[in-house]
Amino acid sequence: MQATYSYYDFEKSRERMDEILAGEDASYEDHKGIPSRDNLTFTNGFYVDVTVMFIDMRGSKKLAEKHTRPVLAKVYRAYISEMVAVLKDNSCINEVYIEGDGVWAVFNTTTKPEVQSVVDTAARVKSLADVLNVKLKRRAYSEIKIGVGIEDGESLYIKAGYKGSSINEVVWIGRSVGSAAKMCGFGNATESDKTVMASKRVYEMLDGTYKNLFVWSSSRECYMGNFHNRAMQKWVVDNE
């Protein structure tokens, strides 16, 4: 978020810290499904079961060494733009964040079919990277690799930022966010790793058809798979 200059008042800063730290633990409630942002204040929060997906590009440093900055800008824009578009196509989407060449999302999943829909989205994410690679190859640009991590579990949903200003953001805190990010780092990290990594909890919420997409990785202690969206992958095969 863009910011402009404002004077730092040390006394008021101490008062704000005291107000936040004096908040009641009871202000942080369990909630089924993600509540509206309007219910968030600077002194409350909600524990919510969500599914989190992280997507990150592998070897971005080598990409930067090989291409000019204008080319990099075009590659990153195409990659981030369409990753966000695919994530937003899932009706359970709640938040999307962009961090460098990484994109991550929080899905409001309260049922097993909704968790399975996030796996469907992961398939489209994988195929989207393949589609982009076809287009990059046509222009003699370097192809990309991505890793994807999926976790399901309880996270703390809060509003954080500078009270009294427009600078604030919804923040997700908890193991599920860290776990999804960690598994994303495993995706395509070595030749033995596959693109999509998912936790035991995610795997246990899948039916047989979806379970067959994954195999267990003893080295990573999670499930992994290289599956794709059939319609998108047909375009890839027809246009390679």
What are the residue ranges spanned by the domains of the chain?
Answer: 25-235
Length of the chain: 240
pLDDT reported for residue 65: 84
Q: Closest Cα to residue 148, out of 209, 57, 39?
A: 57
Q: Closest Cα to residue 183, out of 104, 95, 86, 69?
A: 104
Unique residue bearing structure tokens 């495993």: 186
Conformation bin of residue 117: beta by default, left when phi > 0, alpha when psi is -120 to 50:
alpha
pLDDT reported for residue 5: 86
pLDDT tens digit at each of 240 positions of the chain = 678 888 989 999 999 889 888 888 878 999 999 999 999 988 899 999 999 999 999 877 788 888 899 999 999 999 999 999 999 999 999 999 999 889 999 999 999 999 999 999 999 999 999 999 999 999 999 999 999 999 999 999 999 988 777 788 899 999 999 999 999 999 999 999 999 999 999 999 999 999 999 999 999 999 999 999 999 999 999 998
Question: How far apart (Å, rounded) are the C-alpha atoms in residues 26 and 105?
Answer: 27
Greatest Cα-to-Cα distance within the chain, rounded to the nearest angstrom: 65
- The residues near 8 (Cβ < 8 Å, ≥ 6 apart) are none
Angle between the N-to-C axes of helices 230-239 and 112-138, in degrees from 0 to 180, rounded to the nearest 10: 10
pLDDT reported for residue 63: 83
Could you tell me the CA-to-CA distances from 240 to 6, 140, 170, 188, 229 in Å, in that order? Answer: 53, 13, 41, 21, 16
Q: What is the helix, strand, coil percentage profile of the chain, to 5?
A: 45, 25, 30
Q: Taking a C-beta distance cutoff of 8 angstroms, is the pair 153, 128 a contact? A: no
CATH architecture type of domain 25-235: 2-Layer Sandwich (3.30)
3-state SS record for 10-35: HHHHHHHHHHHHCCCHHHEEEECCCC
Q: Taking a C-beta distance cutoff of 8 angstroms, is the pair 23, 43 a contact? A: yes
